[in-house]
Structure 1
Amino acid sequence: MRGIQVSEYVKGPQELKVTEIPDPTPKPDQYLIEVHAAATNFFDILQVQGKYQNQPPFPWVGGAEFSGIVLATPKSATSPKFPVGSRVFGASQGAYATRVCAAEPELLAVPSGWSFVDAAGLFVTAPTSYGALVLRAGVKAGDWVLVHAAAGGVGLAAVQVAKAFGATVIATAGSARKLEVAKQFGADHVLDYRDAGWADKVKKLTPKGRGVNIVYDPVGMVDKSTKCIAWNGRILVVGFAAGAIEKVAMNKVLLKNISLVGIHWGAYARNERQTIPVVWEGIGKLIEQGKFKGTVFTDKEFVGLESIPDALLALGGRESWGKVVVKIPQSGESKL
């Protein structure tokens, strides 16, 4: 097969090369998947540089999120959930290749009517945002929700989930194009977080200037967000895309009765596995109702394994929005 194999750490994605490598050998509990699309993530960039917490032994194939078709079912499964030919998406090490192996808990069926490209970017972002807003913050009709970095992958998912539950969404982003995208995905109000007065503007938008009920923060803007949150508000700590783990003035948390709520979706598989199907069932209902759609970056198309370095650079350079996904045509399949 062809893939991006890492035999030594690189300075950046531009050094990654596509080569001919042996087909992966599935473990007894793994499916063999023909990859038709692969999504990019910031951790993919860190991993090829040797900076991620999960570093496989050399050599290894890059990438994690994918979608494709089942070629072979697990040898240990008497009645596999996904028969040969099934359209699936999921996450497993080695997505930047024409074939990948994945265990059943790492796979889901591609939603009806969805393309491989749309499905490839669903596995990480959708449950993170649904789990945060629905399970952790209890979003409901009438809430005002502030979504930071709203044009990112988890941000656009959060905008859609909040709207689906009847909330009013204020979205922040760092460019006119990203603000436009947030609007297109349902945000009611948009603000540029480069404006030093964004917190005051958020507060003025809310009824009687009370502030928002929920803040969804994948960036690291908790302390500033305490200025525009309402009494009994919940701030969801989703990540630190800005690069620094911030320190919060805890007196503000006390004075407004604020709840700081963490969401680490990846840890549910270890600590609360029974919740995972509940979350995906909820996401599935939103998709069926037409309230949740794919968040694939469409300003530029990435086709073929050779375009993965450019896709990662686009992601890392913050010029993109949503999920940057690469279409991976198989032999005999058109690249167009």
Structure 2
Amino acid sequence: MERHEIEVFLTLAEELHFRRTSERLGLAQGRVSQTVKKLERRLGVPLFTRTSRHVALTPTGRQLRDDLLPAQEQLRRAVDRAMAAGRDIRGVLHVGYSSAMVAEILLKAIDVFRSRHPDCEVEIHEVQISDPFGPIRSGRLDLQVTERPVEEPDLTLGPVVLRESRMLMVPLGHPFTRRASVSLEDLAEATLLAVAGAVPQYWLDYHYPRHTPSGLPIAHAPATTYWTEVLNLVGRGKGVSCASEAAQRYYARPDVEWVPFSDATPIEYGFLWPTGAENARIRAFTDTACEVALSGPARMPPGASG
């Protein structure tokens, strides 16, 4: 039996009146009658006796009602418990981040969130860019903000909270510093420094391409594990690397210069969580973080959080 058939049968078994049953369920009276007839044909036995003035359960109908009522009640209690858990904003929410800019937004969001939901604590944890999904897949995190793109079937994408222009980090005195901007085609003239680890290939291809848009090859130096190592290697003149515009506020150093791209797409930082794990805490915190991002100095145009 399908759930809607059980609902129609049990309601009619209680009301013993087709019109009242249809009104209670919000269905057309004909739909109620068709559902009961279809169920009786499938079972091969009548469940109700009905005349123009009277509806009654047959002995088989009474037995089916008595067998189904405990199961329906158990299902109702299970749904009620799940709904209560979904509305319950308490406990500890573990949120991951992979950039200092995002951490700043999260810390501000935590202050606002705590004022609204004092029974829920939020703890933030840094996620290494070389293993972007390991912590959330292991259950150590409930929620995470990471650089897009993300194309993982077991992870659900939430709103974008930060969108930053892309810059190229180059060694001090590099020829690119004499230009007002660089293009993706210019990467064919340099050696690109990238990260390695448990990073999807599509993500690496997006942030550290192997070819320019016209198809020219881009040379790559041996990859490193941590992004701070990339920064050190750029400063030592071992190559160039991409980063967001805001990163220079946190990682400025005298041996590295930052040159804007003229044609690269922005870097987006967005929420994600395990598929099927969304709950009231996650929804409330992501909403709060988006409010904070849009009201602060973050570089997000209108509509970016969608």
The interval holding the TM-score normalised by the smaller chain is under 0.3
The higher-RCO structure (CA 8 Å, 6+ apart) is 2
Could you tell me the TM-score, scaled by structure 1's length? 0.25
Could you tell me the TM-score, scaled by structure 2's length? 0.27
| Structure index of larger Rg | 2
More helix by share: 2
